[in-house]
Amino acid sequence: MRKKDLHIPQHKTILVTGGAGFIGSHLCERLLKDGNEVICMDNFFTGTKENIRNFLQDPHFELIRSDIVHPVFVEVDEIYNLACPASPIHYQYNPVKTVKTNVMGSINMLGLAKRVKAKILQASTSEVYGNPNVHPQKETYWGNVNPIGIRSCYDEGKRCAETLFFDYHRQNKVRIKVVRIFNTYGPRMHPNDGRVVSNFIVQALKGIDITIYGDGSQTRSFCYVDDMVNGLISMMNTDDEFIGPVNLGNPGEFTIRELAEKVIDLTGSKSKIIYNPLPSDDPERRRPDISLAREKLGWTPGIELESGLKKTIHYFDQILREK
């Protein structure tokens, strides 16, 4: 009598652009743990080899040093398109390149997905909402964005990328997923990326003044990176009918001053808080409505701000001690 065939799970080959970056490296790590073949592509503008050093000897991990503004030819089942500098310091350094990354990069990745019939996820951003007139922000809100400001290369670049994704879906039947990522933090953030969490922690650990831009009353919502990775994978694994966009972020809302005070408390720092002028087009309030993510993905963040900050502080403390 013939034995029944054992069910052998079919693991996927997955491309992660920007895979050596902050969120990308955590995503690569999780996808490898889940038993997949992972191809990481990065030009190392903001990503670092240190972020992926532990994976380099893994036979299921492959690194391609390349820029998504150039076509790439690989055979994959899924693509996570995370490649783009995400902090103002980095994306304003070369704004034309930021637009190219969002537009030309999306065209190249969508073209690849079309050729190999891969499912592709676009990491969009809460910045598509601009300085919102609606609070909290739902996916149905079209945004309030300055198209010619110093942040426009990123904000409008991501908006155009979403347009491309939906047009490739409608015109070419490409299987897409679009997520809008709200402020995310955790280990492997770049210490000099200018983002508020890394800025405050590094300043507090060094005992120097903590810089707040504006009066500190502007609000943000902070999602720990492990929660974000869970959300990205959950979105990729939904059926093809649900394409988004969907907000991913922690709906807990804190003023920037509250964040600074919490970091000072958790680090035991003697840093003082100082205030500088608010940059142009900086959003006054930012908080995701994640009702759609709860309904469609069964996803909700589980790590509270204080717990996540402790892990992030520990990471930066180690980094600064090694210098």
DSSP for 78-117, please give it.
Answer: EEEE--S--SHHHHTTSHHHHHHHHHHHHHHHHHHHHHHT
Would residue 287 count as lying in a domain?
A: yes
Q: Are the C-beta atoms of 143 and 124 separated by less than 8 Å?
A: no
Domain range for 101 is 13-189+223-251+282-301
Would residue 215 count as lying in a domain?
A: no
Domain count, the chain: 1
pLDDT tens-digit series, residues 199-214 = 999 999 999 999 998 8
Would residue 317 count as lying in a domain?
A: no
Would residue 110 count as lying in a domain?
A: yes
Q: What is the mean pLDDT of the chain?
A: 93
Would residue 42 count as lying in a domain?
A: yes
- Cβ-Cβ contacts under 8 Å for 135 (sequence gap 6 or more): 285, 287
Q: φ and ψ at 80, to 5 degrees? A: -105, 115
Q: What is the rounded CA–CA span in Å between residue 264 and residue 272?
A: 9
Query: What is the band of 10 on the pLDDT scale with cuts at 50, 70, 90?
Result: low
Would residue 120 count as lying in a domain?
A: yes
Would residue 259 count as lying in a domain?
A: no
pLDDT tens-digit series, residues 217-253 = 999 999 999 999 999 999 999 999 999 999 999 999 9
Q: What is the rounded CA–CA span in Å between residue 81 and residue 78?
A: 10
pLDDT tens-digit series, residues 110-160 = 999 999 999 999 999 999 999 889 999 999 999 999 999 999 999 999 999
**Residues designated catalytic:** 154
Would residue 184 count as lying in a domain?
A: yes
pLDDT tens-digit series, residues 262-276 = 999 999 999 999 998
pTM: 0.92
DSSP for 17-37, please give it.
Answer: ETTTSHHHHHHHHHHHHTT-E
Query: What is the band of 9 on the pLDDT scale with cuts at 50, 70, 90?
Result: low
Q: How high is the pLDDT of residue 11?
A: 87
CATH code, 180: 3.40.50.720
